Structure 1
Amino acid sequence: MTDSRTLLRSARRTQPLDDAQNGVAPPSETGELLAANTWWAARHGLEATLCDPRDGRQRSAEAVVALLDRTERALSAAAGLEAVRSAVGRLLRLGSPAHRQRAAYRRGGVRGVLELITGDW
């Protein structure tokens, strides 16, 4: 089974061609911005703000993740749209791993984190 990250990478590679064929202007985002958002979300969780690649403003992670709609056609072609939507929905519903680990630490210290990562969450 293909994981959601692989599907998103694939969609990001095919989306520019799809956009060009449909007369959609290319996005202004940079690889550095995407890398920075990935690092920021990993460090601070999806509860933090991210830099919106459309205009550079800080927005809730949920609003930035809504840009997933931009890759909908490419994900559908790869039969991965539902898998990615499910994974993103789960992250937004349960919180990021960083958020869950910090909460587990507040509740039970290192033991709480160990229970989280070794248990069935």
Structure 2
Amino acid sequence: MQADIEIYVLSCPTETIVEWLAKAFTLQSKELISSTSLKLELHHNDKMIPVTILEQAAGKRFTSIWFDSSDTPWNDDIECAKSAFEALNTEVRCNLQGWQEAEQEDPDQWWRINANSEGPYIWR
């Protein structure tokens, strides 16, 4: 299990993302932080999962969804990305190795899922 999960979705309205999360989890609270940032509190298996949704996180078209918890139903970013792609039907990207500060991984190595393919991707 990763300490946290982060994925990036392409051109997907924030309310659509919230609807997906409300179906997959119990939505406890929703707070608008700024015009591009929303904080959610989700519950899963009696555990609280803080989530931050940040529009325009990678360029103007990608929205970040950050689950600040190891208590999600996914083992890693790629499992979450697959679930998001199935639910949202839009391109999803995530870090290929997961985030490990101590390791010397290439920060441009990503996993991309879209209607045409799924696999490693160099995101620059």
Per the normalisation by structure 1, the TM-score is 0.28
When Rg is computed on C-alpha atoms for both structures, the one with the higher figure is 1
Richer in helix (by share): 1
Richer in strand (by share): 2
Per the normalisation by structure 2, the TM-score is 0.27
